[in-house]
Structure 1
């Protein structure tokens, strides 16, 4: 039976879970009260960098990402931060969808999976 490592655990979920050589990052949102989708994207991606580092990997090992936007009209601004962040030639499979997020303050939410 392989080990399961949980990172930043609370009573509802773990921020990340490592199992079988894969790190699964839960949906991350910007809690800093940034008001634009572009700034929220930048902040969320920084959180993902931290979680990947805690798990023992980095964004060059991303396998898949899910990006949820409160307004699909923010796609271009989100993509500007995304493209500046991802490692060229190591971009993950990605899904982008518009959906209602858990608070009107959240404009962007990102979850991801990466190899160790």
Structure 2
């Protein structure tokens, strides 16, 4: 069974299937990469909770940043957020994001019940 949560015309915020929750990409507010990353990860936390899971069950994360010069700053926030011993498989790349003010976007897949 496929369960779609917070579905709109274009996308669902969460899709659950066979014990896995797929979250739509999350961006955050703020001027700096650190602020945007913190806000973005807070939104990921909220969606994980809504899906019935948590950050210690993340299987994979894909991080897009608008410029690789932000890599260290984003990682500082990321490293503080990921529970020790529960780092997911992760990729990070540079990409042009949907709006010029955006510096980071995170896409998460997590195990759920």
Query: Whole-Å Cα distance in 2 between the matches of residues 11 and 36 of structure 1?
Result: 31
Shift of 1:102: 0.8
TM-score, length of structure 1 as denominator length:
0.93
The alpha carbon displacement at 1:105 in A equals 1.0
1:15 corresponding residue in structure 2? 13
Q: How does 1:98-113 map to 2 (within 5 A)?
A: 98-113=94-109
Shift of residue 115, structure 1, vs aligned partner: 0.3
Measured after TM superposition, the shift of residue 7 of structure 1 is 1.8
SS of corresponding position for 1:103: coil
Q: Deviations over 1:34-60 (max 9, x none)?
A: 111111000010000000000100000
Distance 2:82 2:2 in 1: 27
Quote the residue 1:96 is aligned against. Answer: 92
Aligned match for 1:42, one of 30, 38, 43 = 38
Give the ranges of 4+ consecutive aligned residues of structure 1 lying more than 4 Å apart after TM superposition: none
Q: CA deviation at 1:5?
A: 1.5
Q: How many residues align?
A: 112
Q: CA RMSD in A?
A: 0.8
**Runs of 5+ in structure 1 lacking a partner?**
none
1:27 maps onto 2:28 in alignment: no
Instruction: Provide structure 2 residue ranges, at least 5 long, that are not aligned to the other structure.
Output: none
Q: Distance in 2 between matches of 1:79 and 1:7?
A: 29
Q: Calculate the TM-score normalised by the size of structure 2.
A: 0.96
Matched position secondary structure for 2:83: coil
